[in-house]
Structure formats: structure tokens, C-alpha cells
Amino acid sequence: MPSFKLSLNKKNLEVAEALKKSKDYVNVTVEGDIIKVSFDWGLNISRLSLGTIGKDLTDTDWNRLLKEIKKTLKEAKIRDFNTELISIHPLKTEQLHIRISPQEKNLIKRAAEIEGISITDFVRIATLRMADETFEKKRIRRMKKEAEEEAREEERKARTYVS
């Protein structure tokens, strides 16, 4: 899992907690005098997304934060950075091989060209989007089932109360 470490101080702890609050896939732990920030997906850290603490960061604070992240970053790389944004992306070390027909490849190639991205990025994005949709549908089905079970239980209680 991609991660970076920050020295334990009030500002860094506020930054880490703001990241955790703004992204549900960010985990923050304190290990001695170190704050470890780990995440499952790409992580865009902006002064705006950090809320109040982000507004209070000086350019010196921001550059110090960037330097600390760069120094301790594991399993990821910084793609972009400036005075307002640090964009971190997990390393892509796994491969997925698929067989498709020439017509399917041509269709995907044309769609990727329209989007202005590579075939690899197009397939990766489309696949991840479909995976997210699959998990979301499963979550919705589970919530509906739980709601139906609760409604049946309430109905059963109401019938018992009337009897």
C-alpha cells in the first residue's frame, strides 16, 4: 500500500487528519514520533482540500511538506506538484493481459483517441469504473435487503402489538 511519513508535530498531524477526513481511503497512524499516511488510490493534496489547515500553510510549510513526502514516499510517485497541489500516484507494477478481436481493439483505440488518452489508460479507467459500479450495485442491493428485513420486522412487531 502506498504511504509516506511525516515527523510528528501539530501542523503535520492536522494535515494528516484533514487528509483522512477528506478521503475515505486514507489511513493515518502515529508510530512513536512519526505520522504514517497510507492510501489505496491516487492522492491529490491541495491547500483547498485540507480545509482550514491548508489555508494556514505558508509557502515554506508547503515546500517542507512536499520535501518530507518525497523523502519517505513508498510504492508511489509524485506526478505533479506546485504551490497549490501535490499529486501522488501508486506505482503500477502489475500487468493484465487480455485477448480481443481486431475489431474490438480498433473500437477501443478509436475511443481512446477521442478521449485523448492511451489505449492502456482507456482500458484501465473503463475497467476500474466498471469495478466501482459493480461494488456500488452490490452495496445498494445489500442496503435494500436490510431495509426490507427491517420493514418486515417492524410489520411483525406491529401485528404482534395489535393482537
pLDDT in tens, 116-142: 999 998 998 899 889 888 888 888 899
41-45 LR contacts (CB < 8 Å, sep 24+): 41/90, 42/87, 42/88, 42/89, 42/90, 43/2, 43/19, 43/76, 43/87, 43/88, 44/85, 44/86, 44/87, 44/88, 45/15, 45/19, 45/85, 45/86, 45/87, 45/88
Are 78 and 30 within one domain? Answer: yes
Whether residue 58 is found in the same domain as residue 11: yes
Same-domain status, 9 and 46: yes
Q: Is position 37 within any domain?
A: yes
Q: Is residue 108 part of a domain?
A: yes
Q: Which of 90, 113, 134 is the last residue of a domain?
A: 90
pLDDT at 99: 96
**Per-residue pLDDT at 162:** 67
Q: Are residues 149 and 76 in the same domain?
A: no
pLDDT digits (tens, 9 = 90+) for 21-73: 988 889 999 999 999 999 988 888 998 889 899 889 999 999 999 999 999 99
Structural domain includes residue 97: no
- Say yes or no: 10 and 60 in one domain: yes
pLDDT of residue 63: 92
CATH number for 23 = 3.90.56.10
Percent of the chain topping pLDDT 90: 61
Tell me how far apart the alpha carbons of residues 150 and 19 are, in angstroms, rounded to a whole number.
Answer: 35
Q: Give the model's pLDDT for residue 163.
A: 61
Domain boundary among 63, 90, 117: 90
Task: Domain of residue 45: give its range.
Answer: 3-90
Count of structural domains, the chain: 2
Average pLDDT, the chain: 91
- Residue 105 has a pLDDT of 97
The pLDDT value given to residue 83? 83
Q: Are residues 27 and 60 in the same domain?
A: yes
How far is it, in rounded angstroms, from Cα 91 to Cα 17? 24
Q: Identify whether residues 154 and 131 lie together within a single domain.
A: yes
Last residue of a domain, one of 57, 90, 123: 90
Answer yes or no: pTM beyond 0.85: no
65 and 120 assigned to the same domain: no
